[in-house]
Structures are given as C-alpha cells and as structure tokens.
Structure 1
Amino acid sequence: MQNVSRSYKNKGSRTRTIRRIVLSAAAVIMAYVVYAGVVIWTFGAKAEPVKSDAAIVLGAAVWDGKPSPVFQGRIDHALWLYEHQYVDKLIFTGGRGSALESAESEVARDYALARGVPEADIVIETASKITEENLSYAQAAGEREGLSTYLIVSDPLHMKRAMTMAEDYGMIAYPSPTDRSAYRTLRSKIPFLLREMFYYTGYVVLSPFR
C-alpha cells in the first residue's frame, strides 16, 4: 500500500509541475502578445521625415488597374514627401497577382506620372510578393541607381515589422507612415493589428534561423 500511495503522490507532483510549466508558458506568451501589440501600435505613431535619397513605397493591392485605397494612401504620402523635397526619388514595389495584371509597382508609377512626377525620378521593381521582398528588391534597385538612404512608406501598423526588416538588411532607413491610411476606424485597425502581431512575432521568432 505504501508503494501505491507513493506512486500516486509522485504522479500528483508531476501533474502539478506540468501544470505550473504550462501556466508559466501561457503567461509568458500572453505577456509577449500584449507587448507586441503595444509596440506595433505605438511605433506607427513615429515619423521621421529625414531628408533621404528615396521613398520606398511598400506594395499593396491593385483594383482594376488602379491603386486600392490602402495603396493609394501610401502613394499619396510618398508624393507629398517628394513634393516637399524630403526625397529625390520614388521607389515603388510590388509584383503581379497574375500574368494578365499590371504589377502593383507599375500601377503606382502610372499614378505618380499622372500627377506630374518625372519618369526619371521613379524606380520600380515588379517581382516582390511580400514585405521582405518589397524591401530587399527595392534596396537592390536603389543601389543600382546609386541611392543609399530611404524613407519607408506604409500604413502605421505595418511600420514596426517593415522597419525591423529594413534594419536586418542593413538599410539606412527611417519610418514615414502615411497619414492617409485607409485603416482609420478602430473596427478596421484591430484586424490589421492582430494580423501584424502574428506576422511580426513569426518574423522575430524565425529570424535566428534565416
């Protein structure tokens, strides 16, 4: 009977230990989730319109050959930076959703040309699909043009992840979140924030393995 009693006690002790480990892990995860959410939310309020060689506009959806409201907000902000001489060049990023569609960057270029930006001041890349590619391909295109300093243009809630990636690429870059974001209401911001928390966390966790 003593052996049986001792066995039950050991099992109970192991169960309590496992429960404590699980609860501790859950607490750490929850704390990080809250931290990531706060960092992403507050980082988007930062703007550093430092005089730079070019603005890199991160790609977004195109609707029927025109910029979506999200993309237009980013492009309009970049045009403002250009018109106020914060940048000398505009780098538009974003590839094609299908072979029959114009690339996001091509649509952005046409939008800028229609608003008086000389073609010589526009650089595009047409291959990127995700934020990491937006930045790496834009950096390569910029280097070919002799550019070295950049303002990164995107929606405020996208800026933390974008700037983390830019830093990892060794870019001399500054955040310039658009004040024309299509995500203006809390109802639209919360899903965007949750999505960014997921992608930002995934990027940070996987970074050591890249």
Structure 2
Amino acid sequence: MKVKVLNLDGSAGKGDIELSDDVFGLEPRADILHRVVTWQLENRRGIARATRERSDVARTGKKWGRQKGGGTARHGDRAAPVFIGGGKAHGARRREFNISLNKKIRALGLKMALSSKAQNGLVIVDTLDGEAKTKALAGQLAKAGFGKKVLVIDGEAVNDNFARAARNIVGVNVLPAVGANVYDILKHDTLVLTRAAVEKLEARFNG
C-alpha cells in the first residue's frame, strides 16, 4: 500500500511511503477490536478493596454477656455487625480485573486498529522536527484539519520539541512507537505516524 507523505500543516511532503499490507491492509473485525479494548480497559482497573467482615475486625471474641437473664439480645462477641466497630455484614469482596488475552489476538487487534485508520484517518509525516512553540504547532494542525482528537506516534522516542509544543494543546496526544495501543488509536479522529514510527511498528510484527 503506497501512501503520500504529508507535512504537519497538511501540505504535500517528500515522496511516498510503502506500507505493509500485513500490518495496514487487513480488514478490521469489530469482535477482535472489542475483545482487545475490553482487555485493555479491564487491566487499567485497580483491585476492588474488600470490606472487613466479622472475622476480620480486631475485637475480642469473648462472649460479653450471659445467654439468658440479661434482658438484652444473646450476642456472642463485640465483632457482631450490630455493634459500632463490628464487622460489616455482607460486605464487598475483593475483586481483581486482570483478565488474560492471547498474545496473537492482541497483536491482531493492533494490526486491525492500524488498518482501520489506514482506510480513513491515517497521516504519514516525515519527521516531527520544529520549534517548541505551542502556538505555531496549533496553527499547523488547525490548517491541516486533522480533527479535534489527534494521536501522534513517533519512533524510538518522541521528538522533545514537538512533545513540549503539543502538551498544552487539547485533544493532541503523543506516544512513542512502543506505546501504540488499540484503545488510544481508535478513540482519536486522526492517527499521525512518522516514518520512524512506521518502521518500528512493522518491525514489531515482523520480528
């Protein structure tokens, strides 16, 4: 698949780039993308903390009153839920959300996310070199008309000047190639890749 290289302002750049059909030319499947996004979001969740029940609270287990003749209910110990400081009755249990997903499915999901953007919403730029000026970068992106949400992926590491200029622009997020993931790619209107990012992503699957 051959794609034209653009500049950040949307103008024509230097030449074309050949994208691998094995990475950018697949037919996206909603079921695969749904499984990978669900896996990713579930693993972001923290562990749900359990409440302390009757056996967990630090109170005496001694029976504190007579079984009969006291004129009160027949309690066994102070950890009973009816007492202040007692255990929680039917409390929340500890829950973990780290579900597993086959590596091949995760890799296929990323390929399909990239392929879906290649069909509509993929921009390839030569480099991210430029001055570290937020105003100048915002003007370039507005001129290009990439949309409200733009994800920019660079190669080994994100260009420092670009990262500094983009960090105060609402809707623009920047990642190195190693951080590319299905959820972030799909939730942005436009995916901007540098030549270095394309090389890294294709090497990631071919290696």
TM-score, length-scaled by structure 1: 0.27
Larger radius of gyration: 2
In terms of fraction of residues, the more helix-rich structure is 1
